[in-house]
């Protein structure tokens, strides 16, 4: 774990869970696997606090535990998983585009709570949706359930590992920490629930008081009646599936940029067909025959079979090599070359960074080196058609920033500099790692700046909150307009402007964090895919 990663994790934990959880989380990330006693003694917090914090972390899948052979339990923080907190907005947004507001809220609730039962999710989401609807309308539980089932079918949500139902013999005491297992087949099986009901709207003040008694009575009855039918079956968000989706999105948009809309639709169809058949870390998808692809094209696209074949051939011959032909049966078997696609995306990201940082001529040299692998100084000048002095300057600048490295090839055994070849080369994997580290630090910087901006204006924010509270209470008690206006004027115009600025800045920094996270995703996927290759 690099310093930048640890810093970013601690910032994220602090922002989402508070000081105490942050302290314990950071301690675990920094020192690795630790038992409970060590955590208590090293962090200086009370046992109770540590226990609660660990509960929170485990609930959110940020910390795992393991029973050691000697009989005590050790806790380990998952640094990578903590970094995913940065990507929560992207997950929620994707769910929204695929399954509308219902899907969005389901995913949001699951992310905020870590693990939940289906009935709890459905109830909560229905309540929230009812709030936003017009007066008199409510959200039916059935709709929410349907969306939930669809999310489970497409593997976006999955079941959490359970305590195995082992027959407990009286002699053997239950182990201090249960070992959770998950049955592969059941991971996406939705329990048969009969959820009937509608969302409840949270009424405004006076009505609520009348209802409170009723509601309390109902609750007590309800609780005593029976536990929810799916007690013990918890669901969580399947992050890998979302990552697969982002990766597919990236590939499709790259094809659309390089070729045209139709080809990108064909690639999207191929990827959709391979969603559940190919594991997310495979280098290529399963072969698909051209007939299958033709049948699975979306309804709106009426292209003839021959045109589809032509497109497939074009895609397979393209220098991009995203699609490859693996056989001739069934009209031609085609695969999507996932690893190559990720490599191309990562390379394009690197080139984009070099171009923005150093200029388009440096980008030309960079791409030249990527193509030709190893080149001498003179050859770089000749191929790129850049005058010698400038080319030298650019190469040295990139060398100092570690985008480019030198390979020495001696002509004589004594390695004399005048008799050695010096070849420039680009190593994509190490450049990707270097830039990933830079991304982490950038996001940490952005978060810190955002917190600083908010802190600077804390006084003003508190004041505006007080004024709003006064306004709300006065409106409720029916104050006159004149009095309301007086209160509003407590915030002067420049102060209002300052608040506007603050809001705008915070939003800008937030958006920027998400954008850097996109870069992080591309680079991380590429590094993972390269390391997993046999």
Partner 1 sequence: MAEVKVKPEVPDPVDIENRIIELCHQFPHGITDQVIQNDMPHMEAQQRAMAINRLLSMGQLDLLRSNAGLLYRIKESQNASKMKGSDNQEKLVYQIIEDAGNKGIWSRDIRYKSNLPLTEINKILKNLESKKLIKAVKSVAASKKKVYMLYNLQPDRSVTGGAWYSDQDFESEFVEVLNQQCFKFLQSKVELSMEDIETILNTLIYDGKVEMTIIAAKEGTVGSVDGQMKLYRAVSPLIQPTGLVRTPCGLCPVFDDCHEGGEISPSNCIYMTEWLEF
Q: Which residues are at the interface with partner 1 (CB under 8 A)?
A: 250, 253-254, 257-258, 317, 319-320, 344-345, 348-349, 351-353, 355-357, 360, 363-365, 367-368, 371, 383-388, 390, 435, 438-439, 441-442, 445-446, 448-449, 452, 505, 508-509, 512, 514-519, 522
Q: Closer CB to partner 1, residue 63 or residue 386?
A: 386
What's the min distance (Å) between Cβ of 453 and partner 1? 8
* Between 307 and 469, CB nearer to partner 1: 307
Provide the minimum distance between the beta carbon of 135 and partner 1 in the complex, in angstroms, as a whole number. Answer: 41
Residue closer to partner 1, measured from CB, 138 or 451: 451
Which of residues 405 and 445 has its CB atom nearest to partner 1 in the complex? 445
State the nearest-atom distance from the C-beta of 394 to partner 1, in Å.
13
Tokens of 183: 């049955």
- The nearest distance, CB 361 to partner 1, in angstroms, is 9
Identity of the residue, 156 or 440, whose beta carbon is nearer to partner 1 in the bound complex: 440
* Alpha carbon separation from 28 to 81, 430, 463 (Å, rounded): 13, 27, 39
Which of 317, 318, 335 is closest to 326 using CA atoms?
Answer: 335
- Using DSSP's 3-state secondary structure scheme, residue 523 falls into helix
User: At its nearest, how many Å lie between partner 1 and the CB of residue 416?
Assistant: 20
Task: Report in angstroms the alpha-carbon separations of 104 from 51, 239, 402, 445, 485.
Answer: 32, 15, 42, 29, 38
Report the C-alpha gap between 409 and 422 in whole angstroms.
6
CB–CB of 9/29 below 8 Å? yes
Nearer to partner 1, 53 or 446 (CB): 446
User: Using only C-alpha atoms, what is the Rg of the chain?
Assistant: 29
Three-state DSSP class for residue 352: helix
At closest approach, how far in Å is the CB of 441 from partner 1?
7
Neighbouring-strand partners of residue 335: 324
Smallest distance from the beta carbon of 84 to partner 1, in angstroms?
A: 16
Nearer to partner 1, 265 or 517 (CB): 517
Extended beta strands in 257-317, E state:
288-289
Q: What's the min distance (Å) between Cβ of 519 and partner 1?
A: 4
Among residues 258, 438, 411, which one has the least CA distance to residue 345?
A: 258
**In 423-480, which ranges are continuous DSSP H helix?**
428-456, 458-476
- Rounded alpha-carbon distances, angstroms, from residue 6 to 26, 81, 228, 350, 474: 7, 12, 40, 24, 47
Q: Are 320 and 258 in contact (CB under 8 A)?
A: yes
Between residues 81 and 438, which has the closer beta carbon with respect to partner 1? 438
**Euclidean distance between CA atoms 106 and 144, whole angstroms:** 8
Q: How far apart are the first and last CA of the chain?
A: 24
Nearer to partner 1 among residue 208 and residue 317 (C-beta)? 317
CB nearer to partner 1: give 139 or 522.
522
Give the shortest CB-516-to-partner 1 separation in angstroms: 5
Rounded Cα distance between 500 and 400, Å, is 42
Q: How far is the CB of 464 from partner 1 (least distance, A)?
A: 20
Report the alpha-carbon distance of residue 232 to residue 120 in Å, rounded: 12
CB 341 within 8 A of CB 244: no
């Amino acid at each position: 774990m690099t310093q930048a990663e640890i810093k970013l994790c601690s910032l994220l934990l602090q922002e989402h869970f508070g000081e105490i959880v942050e302290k314990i989380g950071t301690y675990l990330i920094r020192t690795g696997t630790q038992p409970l006693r060590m955590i208590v003694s090293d962090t200086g917090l009370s046992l109770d606090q540590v226990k609660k914090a660990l509960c929170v972390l485990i609930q959110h899948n940020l910390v795992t535990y393991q029973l050691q052979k000697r009989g005590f339990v050790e806790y380990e923080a998952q640094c990578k998983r903590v970094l995913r907190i940065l990507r929560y907005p992207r997950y929620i947004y994707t769910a929204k585009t695929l399954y509308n507001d219902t899907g969005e809220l389901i995913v949001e609730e699951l992310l905020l709570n870590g693990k939940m039962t289906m009935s709890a999710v459905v109830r909560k989401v229905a309540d929230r949706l009812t709030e936003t609807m017009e007066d008199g309308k409510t959200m039916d539980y059935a709709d929410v359930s349907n969306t939930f089932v669809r999310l489970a079918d497409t593997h976006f949500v999955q079941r959490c590992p359970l305590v195995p139902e082992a027959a407990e013999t009286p002699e053997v005491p239950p182990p201090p920490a249960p070992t959770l297992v998950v049955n592969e087949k059941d991971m996406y099986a939705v329990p048969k629930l009969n959820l009937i009901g509608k969302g409840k709207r949270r009424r405004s003040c006076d009505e609520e008081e009348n209802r409170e008694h009723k509601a309390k009575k109902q609750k007590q009855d309800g609780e005593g009646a029976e536990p929810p039918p799916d007690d013990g079956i918890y669901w969580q968000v399947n992050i890998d599936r979302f990552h697969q989706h982002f990766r597919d999105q990236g590939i499709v948009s790259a094809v659309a940029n390089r070729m045209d809309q139709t080809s990108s639709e064909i690639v999207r169809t191929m990827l959709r067909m391979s969603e559940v058949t190919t594991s997310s870390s495979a280098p290529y998808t399963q072969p698909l025959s051209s007939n299958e692809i033709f049948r699975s094209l979306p309804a709106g696209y009426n292209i003839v079979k021959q045109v589809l074949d032509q497109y497939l051939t074009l895609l397979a011959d393209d220098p991009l090599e995203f699609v490859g032909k693996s056989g001739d049966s069934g009209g031609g078997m085609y695969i999507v070359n996932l690893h190559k696609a990720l490599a191309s995306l990562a390379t394009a990201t690197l080139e984009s960074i070099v171009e923005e940082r150093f200029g388009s001529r440096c980008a030309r040299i960079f791409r030249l080196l990527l193509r030709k692998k190893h080149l001498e100084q003179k050859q770089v000048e000749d191929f790129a058609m850049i005058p010698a002095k400038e080319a030298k300057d650019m190469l040295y600048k990139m060398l100092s920033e570690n985008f480019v490295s030198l390979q020495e090839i001696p002509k004589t055994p004594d390695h004399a500099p005048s008799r050695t070849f010096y070849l420039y080369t680009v190593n994509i994997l190490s450049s990707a790692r270097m830039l990933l580290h830079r991304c982490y630090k950038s996001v940490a910087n952005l978060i810190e700046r955002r917190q600083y901006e908010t802190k600077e204006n804390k006084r003003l924010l508190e004041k505006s909150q007080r004024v709003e509270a006064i306004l709300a209470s006065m409106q409720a008690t029916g104050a006159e307009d004149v009095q309301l206006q007086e209160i509003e004027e407590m915030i002067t115009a420049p102060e209002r402007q300052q608040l506007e600025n603050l809001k705008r800045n915070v939003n800008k920094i937030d958006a920027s964090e998400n954008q850097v996270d996109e870069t992080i995703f591309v680079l991380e996927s590429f590094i993972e895919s390269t390391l997993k290759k046999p």
